[in-house]
């Protein structure tokens, strides 16, 4: 599925590919099909607006949003100055068309980081199997060396309303929350569990055991497979839960990156996550990283017993969103990256933004 977006209030063309040759403008998609690519098009519409406002020469660029790593609509393939946004490729593949476009920005990126848990042999074995499968998926079409014009960007957020205000962490009712899926596609009829299932089952079991003799409020809601979860009643309250949560748990999915980390930061939660890829936007993340969910009980006790530290960490989350993940900041990164690929843009630049963009 892909989408084509054209924003008539700013220069340039932006497209969302709806599948095959079918495309639509981003301004139409954000109003009528805002989650067509299983991402929030409104968020990226803000990114594109901020980007195109920087330089009139960007009017010569075409921006294409898609989920496909195998094909682009014919009218965009081999076109000069085509910039593609690939959304939701959890296998972190290199698109077949990478060498035929100007640049590709991917969420997640192009590498599946090998993240292991201490002393957990089954998980580590499955992590190595999955890492090997990811490399196999690059052949014969997804060549491993087509990487020089591919850059990582964050997911943004999914179905979240605009943040109007932030509840101070001391006034939040829910101490720990997780809303998401544990089940995944069955491997050999369910006899083999993926890393996503193994990690999330251990996390949920650890929280269940931790809260038995505690007075803390833990809100853990389990859903089915993600694309089907949008219609589930429990997801209607997801934004409200996040706004009222102190500590948001963000376990891995098929890929290490998930929407939940960005969403938790956006609403001012303290986020506990597993290891993240070494992307530019993760370098200064205030997320607390665990390499074994068995560490969680002690960590939760330490945090919840220290309200001053919790308030400090909440502000770090909000500052990180504003400084790194907000649409304007992503636009800054896109612009400096495109400038490195096309120095002629500097001839029309009003300002030069200095960002460490080692992707």
* C-alpha distances out from residue 94 to 105, 148, 225, 284, 285, Å: 11, 11, 25, 26, 26
Look up the pTM and report it.
0.84
Q: What is the pLDDT of residues 265-322, one digit of tens each?
A: 999 999 999 998 889 999 899 999 998 899 999 999 999 999 999 999 999 999 999 9
Q: What is the pLDDT of residues 76-126, one digit of tens each?
A: 887 889 999 999 888 788 888 888 899 999 998 777 777 778 778 888 788
Q: Residue 181 CA to chain centroid, in angstroms? A: 16
**Domain locations in the chain as residue ranges:** 2-110+147-153+326-348, 169-325
Q: What is the pLDDT of residues 294-308, one digit of tens each?
A: 999 999 999 999 999
Q: Residue 209 CA to chain centroid, in angstroms? A: 29
Domain 169-325 in CATH: superfamily?
Glycogen Phosphorylase B; (3.40.50.2000)
Q: Within 13 Å and on the Cβ side, how many CA atoms surround 359?
A: 24
> For the chain, give me the number of helices (H) and strands (E)?
10, 12
235 pLDDT above the threshold of 80: no
As to burial, measured by CB atoms within 10 angstroms (0-12 exposed, 13-18 middle, 19+ buried), residue 316 is: middle
Which residue has tokens 């014009």?
Answer: 149
């Amino acid at each position: 599925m892909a989408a084509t977006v054209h924003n008539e209030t700013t220069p340039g063309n932006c497209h969302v590919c709806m599948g095959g040759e079918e495309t639509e403008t981003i301004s139409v998609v954000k109003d009528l099909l805002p989650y067509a690519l299983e991402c929030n098009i409104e968020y990226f519409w803000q990114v594109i607006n901020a980007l195109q406002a920087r330089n009139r020469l960007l009017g010569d660029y075409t921006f294409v949003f898609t989920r496909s790593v195998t094909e682009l609509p014919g009218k965009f393939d081999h076109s000069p100055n085509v910039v593609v946004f690939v959304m939701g490729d959890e296998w972190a593949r290199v698109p077949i068309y990478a060498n035929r476009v100007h640049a590709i920005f991917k969420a997640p990126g192009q590498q599946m980081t090998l993240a292991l848990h201490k002393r957990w042999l089954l998980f580590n074995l499955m992590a190595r199997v999955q890492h090997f499968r990811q490399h196999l998926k690059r052949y014969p079409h997804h060549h491993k060396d087509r990487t020089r014009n591919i850059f990582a960007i964050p997911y943004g957020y999914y179905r979240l309303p605009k943040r109007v205000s932030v509840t101070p962490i001391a006034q939040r009712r829910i101490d720990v929350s997780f809303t998401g899926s544990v089940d995944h596609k069955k491997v050999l009829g369910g006899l083999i569990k993926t890393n996503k299932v193994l990690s999330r089952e251990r996390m949920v079991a650890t929280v269940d055991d931790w809260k038995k003799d505690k007075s803390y409020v833990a809100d853990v809601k389990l859903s089915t497979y993600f694309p089907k979860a949008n219609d589930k009643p429990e997801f209607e309250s997801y934004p409200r839960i996040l706004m009222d949560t102190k500590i948001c748990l963000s376990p891995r999915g098929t890929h290490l990156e998930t929407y939940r980390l960005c969403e938790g930061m956006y609403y001012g939660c303290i986020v506990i996550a597993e290891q993240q890829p070494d992307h530019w936007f993760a370098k200064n993340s205030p997320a607390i990283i665990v390499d074994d969910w068995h560490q969680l009980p002690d960590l939760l006790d330490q945090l919840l017993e220290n309200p001053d530290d919790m308030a400090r960490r909440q502000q770090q989350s909000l500052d990180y969103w504003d400084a790194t993940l907000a649409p304007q900041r992503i636009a800054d990164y896109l612009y400096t990256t495109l400038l490195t690929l096309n120095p002629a843009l500097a001839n029309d630049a009003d300002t030069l933004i200095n960002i460490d963009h080692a992707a």
